[in-house]
Amino acid sequence: MGKAQKKSGKGRLDKYYKLAKEQGYRARSAFKLIQLNKKFSFLESSRCCIDLCAAPGGWLQVASKFMPVNSVIVGVDLVPIKPIPRVVTFSADITTAGCRNLLRGELKDWNADVVLHDGAPNVGTAWIQDAYGQSELVLMSLKLAVEFLIKGGTFVTKVFRSADYNNLIWVFNQLFGKVEATKPPSSRNVSAEIFVVCRDFLAPKYIDPKFLDPKHVFKDLAASVPEVGKALVTHNAQANVFQPDKKRRHRDGYEDGNYTLFKTMPVSEFVKGSDPVAILGSYNKIAFETQEEKEWLSLDITTNDVKANCEDLKVLGKGDFKILIRWRLALREELGLDIKTKSAEEATETVEITEEVDEDQAIQEELERLNAENAARRKRERRKANEVRQRTIQRMQLQMTAPIDIGLEQQDAALVYGQDDIFDLKNTENGMQKKGGMSKLIGEDGTIVAESDDEEGNERLSDDDALDEVLDSEEEREEKARSLEAELDALYDDYQIRLREKDAKFRVKEAREKHKSREEWTGIQENQKDSDDEPEEEGGYDIMHQHVDDGSSSDESDEDEAQHPPTKRRRADSSGRSLIADLAEPKPSVSQASKVWFSQDVFAEVNDADEEDEEDEDKEESDGGEGEDESDGEDGEINDADENDFEIVPHEAEEDAEMWDVSNESEDALKRAYIKKYGLVTPEALTLAQQLVNREKTRTQLINDGFNRYSLNSKDGLPSWFLDDEQKHYKPNIPVTKEAIAALRAKQRALDARPIKKIAEAKARKKYKTEQRLEKAMKKAEGVNATSDMTEREKAQAIEKLMRKGMSSGHKKKEVRLVVAKGAHKGIQGRPKGVKGRYFMVDSRMKKEVRAKKRREKADKK
């Protein structure tokens, strides 16, 4: 298992591995030297190279390849190296004098240009801890290098980043001119190795032996060696125990003083030590070596799992570590250590405590969750209350809320009722009563009567009693509701007035509305037929009838009198008078709604033709067959009267407001006026006209279409604000044809193509003046032609001159005089002396430039 992990973990079979295989290198490390050489180019110029720790010989192969032919290449390693052409190899320990002697024997008095060192503590045989650390090995290789290197030579060595890295670099810097640390791309990122290329060997005559003595170079190291065990107690170690799968990079290199990769810890230290977690995270194996420890192996608690786990800590999972920790606890109890050192075993207890903490934490989390939920609910409620308050304020601003409602809503306890419909008086009052607090009730006159239960003898009424007290009878309730609605209507009217005051557009719209007649379909009045003696008052449209009624003493008018203030009545009276004047000519009784419908100018032309005949006939009937001319004349009057019916018959604003199709009619009136001026301008009107012209529809059909669901709806009792709101969409939708839209568009295009009025006027003025001048010139020419003093030639010349003058606009181009700003004119402000008319100040330079420009232009032309 360990092997497989190692292989895949290191990514052993990476691209350099494959490349090395392909290119015949014995080790993938060959590419490290290739890349270093590529960067620093030390092999090509070398004639002698020593490779320390060279097995299996990858670097030697590279050196052999890149160094000049006939170069001397020597390789040394603990293990024998298979022969490589042109390379001398032997086995030796580079830390020994024997190795040095061998090298000297091989090289004789030669010095090396390059010394390579890629050594690492040998851990290849049964995980034996190497006697030398990497840094010591580097120092030993340096010792050989300084002995064999030529002055200016290069030493390439591998070092591991650790605490003594800087010490090594310091030593290198003492002996070499250039020292550079680099990590070639082929060196694995997970590896802590780094390559130092020391160039330009200084070759000092005397080298202080301390530079090459590990005891001196790594002075602090010795002190740190015994501390290894303690140093292992790190946070990382603990993290490693509980997160074994998480790979941690050794950025700090190997721990100080211990460069072995496989570490074993005696089990007694694990059991008796104070930080078992750190041990589990740092060591590879827990060993049972002493007699006492071996006895523990035979204990019942020491299961096979425990034994197996102790063999290789690096492959354990979280569960396995827990087994070991529990076993340790059990063993400690067995040994009687727990009682004494309970306090010291923080780490072990941490595990147990952690579980308790987990439970507490769960409770805590649950509490927090509940708190959060509560807070969210409270927030929601607050937001809801705020919304209600906001709505109330808005309604107050629109004057749509009666004070009573505000009073109700302002009581925070009654927020629930604040959202109720303002007409839901019963609910509101019930709700308020149920609350039993301060009750704001409506008095009989509609005013607010605030009462407190406490004030009434501190007797809290039962719900039913309270309700009875508030609402004595159905009548009273209705009365209150009515008064509330009346108040609301009054407030809405106030709102409309304010709007009118503020908004000019609204005033215009309202003025237009006032000038049109809008009456509801009331059917043919029976008394119209019976009132032959009063044809002027009753023989016309219903509208007229009603207005006449206003002046009479019908029941409705009585009611109106009772309800409307005297000023309004006076207006009605005055309207009545004008109405009587308009009703000079009796008309057939047709519905007012259809009158309104056909009053649209869409039907104007169509109606004119029809109505002429009809009205003529009517007149003949009513007037006993008057002459045609006379009837024509009266027809005109009648038309005027018709128009007047719409134009001057005043209506009370209240009546208008209560009309259902207020805006429809307003729009209709606008359209009528517009169509009158510009023709058929809406697609609906064009469509209807088309249908009439093409005889797709008859007049009767159109009349029938006029009676739709929008025309006969009752608006009784509906508040004006509701009608105002509904009018936007509650209107008939007349389908339009493509042709109508196309015709309108063409018309619009033609309109758009017209010139702007001012331009057209200017052009016309110009044309007119030219014509005038020409006319004048012609007259003069005629005079010239008539004279006998002049020859024909002179006449022709004079006429030509006159005509030329007549054709020209007569405006002479005013000359602008150029004044050069030099001499007396230099630096002056204002008009130069002796210059009259228009002038332009120039400097000489400018004048020269203008002249030069002219010259150039002239030359160009040539």
SS3 content of the chain, % helix, strand, coil (to 5): 60, 10, 30
Question: Of 148 and 283, which has the nearer Cβ to ligand SAM?
Answer: 148
Least CB distance to ligand SAM at residue 240 (A): 26
CA–CA separation, 682 and 314 (whole Å): 89
Provide the b/e sequence for 91-122 (b: ≥16 CB within 10 Å).
ebbbbeeebbebbeeebeeebbbbbbbbbbbb
Beta strand extents in 295-357 (DSSP E only): none
Question: Of 157 and 517, which has the nearer Cβ to ligand SAM?
Answer: 157
Q: Which residues bind ligand SAM (CB under 6 A)?
A: 26-27, 29-30, 53-59, 77-79, 93-95, 118-120, 122, 137
Strands 149-160 and 112-117: parallel
Neighbouring residues of 510: CB distance < 8 A, sequence distance ≥ 6:
500
CA–CA separation, 220 and 173 (whole Å): 20
Can 779 be counted among the known catalytic residues? no
CA–CA separation, 595 and 645 (whole Å): 11
Question: Of 217 and 740, which has the nearer Cβ to ligand SAM?
Answer: 217
Which residue's Cβ lies closest to ligand SAM? 58
Least CB distance to ligand SAM at residue 106 (A): 15
User: Tokens 């308050």 sit at which residue?
Assistant: 389
Least CB distance to ligand SAM at residue 102 (A): 12
Question: Of 144 and 329, which has the nearer Cβ to ligand SAM?
Answer: 144
Question: Of 115 and 306, which has the nearer Cβ to ligand SAM?
Answer: 115
CA–CA separation, 731 and 711 (whole Å): 9
Between CA 28 and CA 34, with CA 31 as vertex, the angle to 5 degrees is: 155
User: Tokens 């110009």 sit at which residue?
Assistant: 766
CA–CA separation, 462 and 469 (whole Å): 10
Q: Cβ(156)–Cβ(115) under 8 Å? A: yes
Least CB distance to ligand SAM at residue 293 (A): 33
DSSP 211: G
Least CB distance to ligand SAM at residue 198 (A): 17
Q: Distances from the Cα of 42 to the Cαs of 53, 171, 173, 766, 767, in angstroms?
A: 19, 21, 18, 97, 99
Question: Of 63 and 688, which has the nearer Cβ to ligand SAM?
Answer: 63
Between CA 518 and CA 526, with CA 521 as vertex, the angle to 5 degrees is: 125
Q: Which of 21, 108, 143, 158 does the annotation list as catalytic? A: 158
Strands 176-182 and 193-201: antiparallel
Question: Of 138 and 267, which has the nearer Cβ to ligand SAM?
Answer: 138
- For 718, the token pair is 């509906």
H-type helices in 398-473, by residue range? 403-410, 415-418, 425-435, 463-470
* Identity of residue 603: F
Q: Cβ(66)–Cβ(43) under 8 Å? A: yes
Question: Of 125 and 553, which has the nearer Cβ to ligand SAM?
Answer: 125
Least CB distance to ligand SAM at residue 113 (A): 18
* Identity of residue 96: T
DSSP H or E run through 287: strand 285-287
User: Tokens 């609402």 sit at which residue?
Assistant: 471
Question: Of 184 and 806, which has the nearer Cβ to ligand SAM?
Answer: 184
57 assigned binding-site residue: yes
Q: Cβ(284)–Cβ(211) under 8 Å? A: no
Least CB distance to ligand SAM at residue 284 (A): 21
Residue length of the chain:
862
CA–CA separation, 222 and 213 (whole Å): 13
Q: Cβ(156)–Cβ(36) under 8 Å? A: yes
Q: Cβ(179)–Cβ(140) under 8 Å? A: no
- For 650, the token pair is 């005043």
The 3-state DSSP class for residue 445 equals coil
Q: Which of 255, 243, 245, 265 is nearest to 312 (CA)?
A: 265
Least CB distance to ligand SAM at residue 315 (A): 25
Least CB distance to ligand SAM at residue 126 (A): 14
Q: Cβ(674)–Cβ(665) under 8 Å? A: no
Least CB distance to ligand SAM at residue 74 (A): 13
560 assigned binding-site residue: no
Least CB distance to ligand SAM at residue 34 (A): 11
465 assigned binding-site residue: no
Question: Of 89 and 600, which has the nearer Cβ to ligand SAM?
Answer: 89
CA–CA separation, 159 and 196 (whole Å): 7
Question: Of 18 and 699, which has the nearer Cβ to ligand SAM?
Answer: 18
CA–CA separation, 474 and 190 (whole Å): 92
DSSP H or E run through 181: strand 176-182
Least CB distance to ligand SAM at residue 33 (A): 7
Q: Which of 456, 451, 421 is nearest to 438 (CA)?
A: 451
Strands 285-287 and 448-451: unpaired
- For 425, the token pair is 């008086």
CA–CA separation, 676 and 437 (whole Å): 65
Q: How many CB atoms lie within 10 A of CB 45?
A: 11
Question: Of 118 and 665, which has the nearer Cβ to ligand SAM?
Answer: 118
CA Rg, the chain, in Å? 58
| Residues with catalytic roles | 158
Q: Which residues are annotated binding-site positions for S-adenosyl-L-methionine?
A: 57, 59, 77, 93, 118
